[in-house]
Amino acid sequence: MSAKTLNTPEVTDLLTKASGLEHGGGDERTKQIMHRLLHDVFQIIEDFDVTSEEFWHAANYLNELGANGEATLLAPGLGLDRFLDIRADARDAEAGLAGGTPRAIEGPLYVAGAPISTGTARMDDGTDEDAEVMVLTGQVRDDQGRPLADAVVDIWHADSKGGYSYFDSSQSEYNLRRRIRTDTDGRYTARSIVPSGYGCPPEGSTQKLLDRLGRHGNRPAHIHFFISRPGYRHLTTQINLADDEYLHDDFAFATRDELILEAKSVEASARARELGIDGPYREVVFDVALVATDRTDLQERHVRNRALEDEVA
């Protein structure tokens, strides 16, 4: 259709009324954002001459996406999570808080309240017979290189089939989820298994949209972290294991070159025997640098809905 309607008085008035700008109640920031959102959607409809059939197909897709609980899976797949990280990096640089270990996206599969120990922990329940044994270890330091004792390293990752406990009912409670307080030298060590990457549910809403974009929905093998200590900026990050097929083709855009680590093959070691490992295993070393800040709002992870977080708060 060649006729343009977006800037007509009728549509301008419609946008004002629909976003609540002519009313005194409500939240002003929400109104401004909604006005911009509606304006941009109207603009898309006009620019692409979106039909009624296309519009209602999209509306029904949103219903389906919500019913499947996949909005938090689609968000990283469309680059939204990565964009938020890019903006957070820019804010840190502007505030003089750049440096330390790079952040990376949280993803949708964190579960609060994992068991906590000091120094070492075993993360797996021993039932994944297809998995390789892994020792994950490292040291938490400040941005001057000084070890940080009593930092909390909150770790979660998938099993050898790409499934996460809590969301995968076949796994035991808190399998492959642990919190470790660093020892007096700032060190942590976890016995676990080498995780696998995963793909979006093939019949799910996220993959349905990705198919229309000509994209896959696969992630490389990775391990998630929250790392915190009073007086330091909270770090949300993840490491990727080298040589994965999707290492540089992650549908969630989470791979950062500085966070690619090798799972090195080790035949045996005295340290591994202390963890009950008698044979060969893979070792991943992830050292972390935290940035000091006196801003308490930056010392906590940002607020969002997370599994069991209300129950364990």
pLDDT for position 173: 98
Other CB atoms within 10 A of residue 298 CB: 17
pLDDT for position 243: 93
CA pair distance 234, 300, nearest whole angstrom = 6
Domains of the chain, earliest start first = 1-50 (no CATH), 73-312 (2.60.130.10)
Range 217-240 burial, b when 16+ CB lie within 10 A, else e: bbbbbbbbbbbbbeebbbbbbbbb
Range 62-89 burial, b when 16+ CB lie within 10 A, else e: eeebeebebebbbbbbbeebbebbeeee
pTM above 0.75, yes or no: yes
pLDDT for position 312: 72
CA angle 301, 303, 306 (to 5 degrees): 95
Chain segment 73-110, per-residue pLDDT in tens: 999 999 999 999 999 999 999 999 999 999 999 999 99
Other CB atoms within 10 A of residue 34 CB: 17
Cα dihedral angle (137, 250, 307, 178), rounded to 10 degrees? -10
pLDDT for position 33: 98
Residue 235, token pair as written in the block: 């770090």
Report, as ranges of residue numbers, the positions in the chain whose pLDDT lies below 50: none
Query: Which contiguous run of DSSP H or E holds residue 9?
Result: helix 9-18
pLDDT for position 160: 97
pLDDT for position 313: 61
Chain segment 16-32, per-residue pLDDT in tens: 999 999 988 999 999 99
pLDDT for position 86: 98
Query: Which contiguous run of DSSP H or E holds residue 184?
Result: none
Asked if residues 246 and 312 have their Cβ atoms less than 8 Å apart, the reply is no
DSSP secondary structure code for residue 149 in this structure: T
Q: Which amino acid is at 103?
A: R
Asked if residues 131 and 175 have their Cβ atoms less than 8 Å apart, the reply is no
